[in-house]
Chain A
Amino acid sequence: AQSVTQPDIHITVSEGASLELRCNYSYGATPYLFWYVQSPGQGLQLLLKYFSGDTLVQGIKGFEAEFKRSQSSFNLRKPSVHWSDAAEYFCAVGLRWGSNYKLTFGKGTLLTVNP
């Protein structure tokens, strides 16, 4: 069965510092991979996704993620964090399920940004 692991429950960075959030997956084939962000009291917003092709994916809000097949990872990065990036981040793996795709979500990483 597919699974997603986000090893870091909570990360704190200073504003302006670089950020890397880790995501590892377990799946037999190349999965579809996603990163979502959730601000307090709100639903999830899709940051970026990887289906195939270039392993470095650009997303919204200055985020990028790199798919590394050899490490079964899809880490999210941002070169300079802004205070507004404080939120919870979820990695997800998509598995084809009938005519749709079923997403398995990681348990999330809470990002705190210090001024």
Chain B
Amino acid sequence: NAGVTQTPKFRVLKTGQSMTLLCAQDMNHEYMYWYRQDPGMGLRLIHYSVGEGTTAKGEVPDGYNVSRLKKQNFLLGLESAAPSQTSVYFCASGTQHSNQPQHFGDGTRLSIL
């Protein structure tokens, strides 16, 4: 099925380790987003991209980096993982006319020990 695919679905890291979360969409959407979801907090925007080769900071960008080298992929990197980054991460995509993220992936559950 078409949509947003996130890999991996689960991951456990030790403090200080690095990793990259991958998001892929096959709907030719211009906009892509990374959110984190924490209990009782709703979703908070980490970074977003309005097109290939462009990225921008969201509400909570510290400790994360992103890249959009190809239109269909949006990577979220943690250079030095911290326990505060334990969360569920959601990628989303949307068109430039939609005014909001339209399709969400199923999430990546990340635990930092």
Q: Which residues of A contact B (CB under 8 A)?
A: 4, 9, 32, 34, 41-46, 49, 51, 90, 92, 94, 98-103, 105-108
A45 B100 Cβ-Cβ under 8 A:
no
CA distance A9 to B105 in the complex (A): 24
Chain A neighbourhood of B58, CB < 8 A = 102
B contacts with A, residue count (CB < 8 A): 25
Selected from A101, A107, A108, the residue in CB contact (under 8 A) with B100 is A101
| Contact A43–B45 (Cβ < 8 Å) | no
CB distance from A74 to the nearest CB of B (A): 14
Contact indicator per residue, chain B 1-20, by CB within 8 Å of chain A (1) or not (0) = 00010000000000000000
Residue in A closest to B107 when the chains form the complex, CB atoms? A43
Q: Is the CB of A94 within 8 A of B42?
A: no
Q: Is the CB of B40 within 8 A of A103?
A: no
Task: Please give, as numbers and ranges, the residues of chain B lying within 8 Å of A101 by CB-CB distance.
Answer: 99-100
Residue numbers in A under 8 Å from B96 (CB-CB): 99-100
User: Which chain A residues lie closer than 8 Å to B103 at the CB level?
Assistant: 43
Identify which of A34, A42, A45, A92 contacts B107 (C-beta below 8 A): A42
A58 CA / B87 CA spacing, docked (Å):
33
If A43-B92, A107-B42 touch, does A32 touch B100 (CB 8 Å cutoff)? Answer: yes
Q: Could you write out 27 A-B pairs with CB less than 8 Å apart?
A: A4-B42, A41-B107, A42-B104, A42-B107, A43-B4, A43-B105, A44-B92, A44-B101, A45-B104, A46-B100, A46-B102, A49-B100, A90-B43, A92-B100, A94-B99, A99-B50, A101-B99, A102-B45, A103-B43, A103-B100, A105-B42, A105-B43, A105-B44, A107-B40, A107-B41, A107-B42, A108-B42
Question: Does chain A have a CB within 8 A of B34?
Answer: no
Q: Is B74 an interface residue (CB 8 A)?
A: no
Closest Cβ neighbor of B105 among chain A residues: A43
Q: Which residues of A contact B31 (CB under 8 A)?
A: 100
CB-CB under 8 A from B56, the residues of chain A are: 98
Q: Contacts of B106 on A, CB cut-off 8 Å?
A: 41-43
Contact A100 B50 (CB under 8 A): yes
What A residues does B43 contact at CB under 8 A? 44, 90, 103, 105
